[in-house]
Amino acid sequence: MNKTINILNNKWFALLFLAIAFSLIYNPLTKFPYTFCVIVLFILVTTYLQDGNLNRLNFKKLGLKELKAILLVYVGLELVMDFLFQPTVSWLCNEPADYSTFESIKGNIGMYFKYLLYMWISAAFGEELLFRGYAFFQFQKIFGDKKGLIVLLSAVLFSLPHLYQGLSGLIMTFLFGIAFALIYSKYQNIWINIIIHGLIDTVFLTLSYLGYLEFYNLLGK
């Protein structure tokens, strides 16, 4: 077992595992949200094979201190992104992000709760585990303790699957990726990232359900 662990901790295996995990997003055999269920399983198995445990994914306990940090970081991130970066990016790109994919949720309570459940599974839990916990784990094996580079690369990977949102949406996702990576780098607790990501997407889906997606368009005018 120890010999296998030593071999799999090679930086080339780390790069291979990360590439496979990322490519699974585009596999034709599964659909949203089941795609990320497959990715999560792959992450758990390969992490255990590499380290003999799952400690490096940072599933740590949440106490009162962590809950306070979640609340403060979430509120600050929501305000900065919605009222500073979103309008600036929309103005620079001369277009708002393309969120038309979510217009089907408007006024449909069943669809709203369905997307909410799927979002917490795929975006909050799945994306944070892949683009923060797992990406940091593998990038550290490849590049060592180069935190700035790891933050940047993880944000790039996070933004690529969001190309359907247009240039403005792509840039906003990249900025969120930077923010999430910095949060993870500071607290080293994947649950903090999962909850903050989930809260942000919950607000977005709620605005979609209420028919207020133009809120994001108005900010850029």
Give the count of alpha carbons within 13 A of 175, CB side only.
16
What are the CA-CA distances from residue 179 to residues 3, 43, 80, 112 (Å)?
37, 22, 11, 26
Long-range contacts at 29-36 (CB < 8 A, ≥ 24 apart): 32/118, 32/122, 33/117, 33/118, 33/119, 33/121, 33/122, 33/126, 35/122, 36/121, 36/122, 36/125, 36/126, 36/127, 36/130
Task: Give the confidence band of 3 by pLDDT, cuts at 50, 70, 90.
Answer: low
Q: For 83-165, where are the alpha helices, taking DSSP H only?
A: 86-93, 109-119, 128, 135-143, 147-159
How much is the pTM? 0.92
DSSP type of residue 92: H
What's the confidence (pLDDT) of residue 169? 86
Please give the Cα distance from 154 to 137 (Å, whole number): 11
pLDDT tens digits, 54-89: 999 999 999 999 999 999 999 999 999 988 898 888
How buried is 18 (Cβ within 10 angstroms: 0-12 exposed, 13-18 middle, 19+ buried)? buried
Neighbours of 218 (CB within 10 A): 11
Q: Does residue 172 contact residue 41 with C-beta atoms inside 8 Å? A: no
| pLDDT band per the 50, 70, 90 thresholds, residue 5 | low
Question: Using one digit for the tens of pLDDT, what is the confidence trace for 174-203?
Answer: 999 999 999 999 999 999 999 999 999 999
Q: Is the dihedral of CA 127, 132, 134, 138 positive or negative?
A: positive
Per mean pLDDT, which range of 4-8, 134-138, 164-168 is the poorest? 4-8
Q: Evaluate if residue 168 carries a pLDDT over 90.
A: no
DSSP state of 144: -
Return d(Cα 37, Cα 164) in angstroms, integer: 22
